[in-house]
Structure 1
Amino acid sequence: MQTEKIIKPPSGYLTLLVSLALLAGGIYALINQYFWLGGITLLLDFVLVMPGLIIVNPNESKVLTLFGKYVGTVKSDGFFWVNPLTTKSKLSLRARNLNGQQLKVNDKMGNPIEIAAVIVWQVNETAKASFAVENYLQYVNIQSEAAVRHLANSFSYDNMEDESAEITLKDGAEKVSVLLEQELTERLSRAGVEVIEARISHLAYAQEIASAMLQRQQASAVISARKLIVEGAVGMVEMALARLSEKGIVDLDEERKAAMVSNLLVVLCGDRNVQPVVNTGTLYN
């Protein structure tokens, strides 16, 4: 695999002065009818001097090849002169955003989900980006999609079906992002691309199961809420009985305690307002 070689060519300002001098000399020779001298001078200027002048903008580079051989890369911004016979390819070093499209894949448990990721990347090694792959932009797109698909297949959406899962796509956002970034770095290093950041931008159940999963989540939430209410009600009943016994307000036998517990649980656990009932008799008739 080609290794990047950074070169520092000479400044192009002196060469520009030489080019202007040759241009002026060639025109002067033609005016004075020294056609062969003027022609050679202009030919040297337009073929061997001016084509070697290059401008490199900030966060850009020029990849130079000479007759099919990699010469080097100019990464410093400025005005330079290089071998005019080299082929000069511009390659941007700026950070880029890849807003991946929504992919429909199956998670670890086989549930169809929709997932998408945003990836921030930049070219780090110009030689690999130019010569190791056919088209580094297409390579980044395809490999990024493959990495996101593999990530979705490796973890479950949440803990509803896989309760033993330590990392899920929904709840382990930070860890999932780190794993995605590591896999992308491994995949894209061949193209000389550095992954700066990778984040899941969209995550949802597929439309065909979204409604069923929503009902399941609602049912789970209701069960959890009821469980919390019952635990609180039992604690309150226990506290009430203990306080009554401690203060000696009333002496309750087991049957009266059972009735009191039943009434308190109905009041505390019911989801409707309680309708008071006046008991004119006793518990035993």
Structure 2
Amino acid sequence: MKEIIGKTKSGGLLLLVSFIVLIASVGIFVLGLLNEGILLSVIGCVLFVVYIFILPGFFTIQPNEAMVLILFGKYAGTVKEAGWHWSNPFYTKKKISLRSRNVNGEKIKVNDEMGNPIEIAAVIVWRVENTAEACFDVDNYIDYVNVQSESALRHLAGMYPYDVDEENTDTLSLRGSSDEVSEALKNELQQRLGKAGVIVEEARISHLAYAPEIAAAMLQRQQAAAIIAARQKIVEGAVGMVQMALNKLSVDGIVDLDEERKAAMVSNLLVVLCGERSTQPVINAGTLHN
């Protein structure tokens, strides 16, 4: 449906006209009764019927609201200008809000790209742009938005993994790429809701977690991955410090170590640098070879 502008008249002007018609109908009817003029009484009655006919045509529109006008089942136009209006009394009027609305979706359980069950929810900000499509292309545009929002969120969750390891940092994930995922959700929602005359202003994931049945196992997995990553950093730093110490001793000529002594020094330094607990120093009171 293509939205068209509805034609109305000023409510204030028609109110003045209705008062004139009312006064004229009462005056002519009374004058007919006094003069026993049947014709004048009939004219007064007709004018009063005209006055009653005018009254249903009045309606008001607040800012960011619209009124859809329907004449005997045919779309007659949409009025978006705020104020007091008058239109054909035979019009059926349906008011639609053009203000932004929120959909605070409930948590739903879905499977991510890796098949892991997760809980996810989203907050969506939307508003009606095309009132004709909202009224006539879908049965109930509010229910349509709610149902399609959940459907789009389920589809999006199956397109991305919950999380990725450090080796796949370029891969998008639900937890690590919130901006990209939100933009993808917004675009998919706009494709689905466009036929209902709805504009999606923003879409954000409000809740994301592993399902309770695997949450403990996934937490242990994350902790193990964090420990391994930390150990790798410690080992890399320790090896660099040992290499620096050996090079410094050799370049400055402080001591000349054979391969066996170097191996022992490397072993001791790695134990000191990589150990979880503080080591107890042992003082060597002998010579280099004792």
TM over 0.5, yes or no?
yes
Question: Structure 1's 59 and 162: CA in aligned 2 closer, same or farther, altered over 3 A?
Answer: farther
Find the partner of 1:190 among 185, 191, 195. Answer: 195
Deviation (angstroms), 1:176:
0.7
Deviation (angstroms), 1:282:
5.7
For residues 96 and 28 of structure 1, what CA distance do their matches in structure 2 show? 52
1:119-198 correspondence to structure 2 within 5 Å: 119-160=124-165, 163=168, 166-198=171-203
For residues 69 and 46 of structure 2, what CA distance do their matches in structure 1 show? 27
Structure-2 residue corresponding to 1:12:
11
Find the partner of 2:50 among 44, 49, 57. Answer: 44
1:223-262 correspondence to structure 2 within 5 Å: 223-262=228-267
1:76 has 2:81 as partner:
yes
Residues 61 and 67, structure 2, Cα contact 8 Å, conserved in 1: yes
For residues 251 and 173 of structure 1, what CA distance do their matches in structure 2 show? 56
Question: Structure 1's 137 and 162: CA in aligned 2 closer, same or farther, altered over 3 A?
Answer: farther
1:58 has 2:57 as partner:
no
Deviation per residue, 1:82-138 (Å, 9 max, x gap):
111110110110110111111110001110001111111000100010011110000
Question: Structure 1's 143 and 230: CA in aligned 2 closer, same or farther, altered over 3 A?
Answer: same
For residues 18 and 276 of structure 1, what CA distance do their matches in structure 2 show? 106
Question: Structure 1's 162 and 62: CA in aligned 2 closer, same or farther, altered over 3 A?
Answer: farther
**CA RMSD, aligned part only?**
1.8
Deviation (angstroms), 1:7:
2.6
For residues 39 and 281 of structure 1, what CA distance do their matches in structure 2 show? 130
Deviation per residue, 1:61-99 (Å, 9 max, x gap):
110010010000001111111111110110110110111
* Matched residue SS, 2:158: helix
For residues 247 and 168 of structure 2, what CA distance do their matches in structure 1 show? 38
Residues 7 and 77, structure 2, Cα contact 8 Å, conserved in 1: no
Residues 53 and 82, structure 1, Cα contact 8 Å, conserved in 2: yes
Moved more, 19-28 or 212-221: 19-28
Matched length: 283
Moved more, 70-79 or 29-38: 29-38
Question: Structure 1's 50 and 91: CA in aligned 2 closer, same or farther, altered over 3 A?
Answer: same
For residues 110 and 8 of structure 1, what CA distance do their matches in structure 2 show? 56
Residues 109 and 162, structure 1, Cα contact 8 Å, conserved in 2: no
Deviation (angstroms), 1:150:
0.1
Structure-2 residue corresponding to 1:114:
119
Residues 7 and 87, structure 2, Cα contact 8 Å, conserved in 1: no
Deviation per residue, 1:212-258 (Å, 9 max, x gap):
11111111111101100000000000000000011111111111111
Q: Which runs of 5+ in 1 are unaligned?
A: none
Q: Which runs of 5+ in 2 are unaligned?
A: 34-39
Residues 26 and 39, structure 1, Cα contact 8 Å, conserved in 2: yes
Residues 8 and 76, structure 1, Cα contact 8 Å, conserved in 2: no
Find the partner of 2:214 among 183, 192, 209. Answer: 209
Structure 2 letter corresponding to 1:145: E
For residues 243 and 161 of structure 1, what CA distance do their matches in structure 2 show? 34
Deviation (angstroms), 1:11:
1.4
For residues 189 and 99 of structure 2, what CA distance do their matches in structure 1 show? 18
Question: Structure 1's 31 and 57: CA in aligned 2 closer, same or farther, altered over 3 A?
Answer: same
Structure 2 letter corresponding to 1:226: R
* Matched residue SS, 1:257: helix
Question: Structure 1's 264 and 104: CA in aligned 2 closer, same or farther, altered over 3 A?
Answer: same
For residues 115 and 165 of structure 1, what CA distance do their matches in structure 2 show? 23
Deviation (angstroms), 1:36:
3.0
For residues 132 and 111 of structure 2, what CA distance do their matches in structure 1 show? 37
Deviation (angstroms), 1:281:
4.6
Residues 113 and 160, structure 2, Cα contact 8 Å, conserved in 1: yes
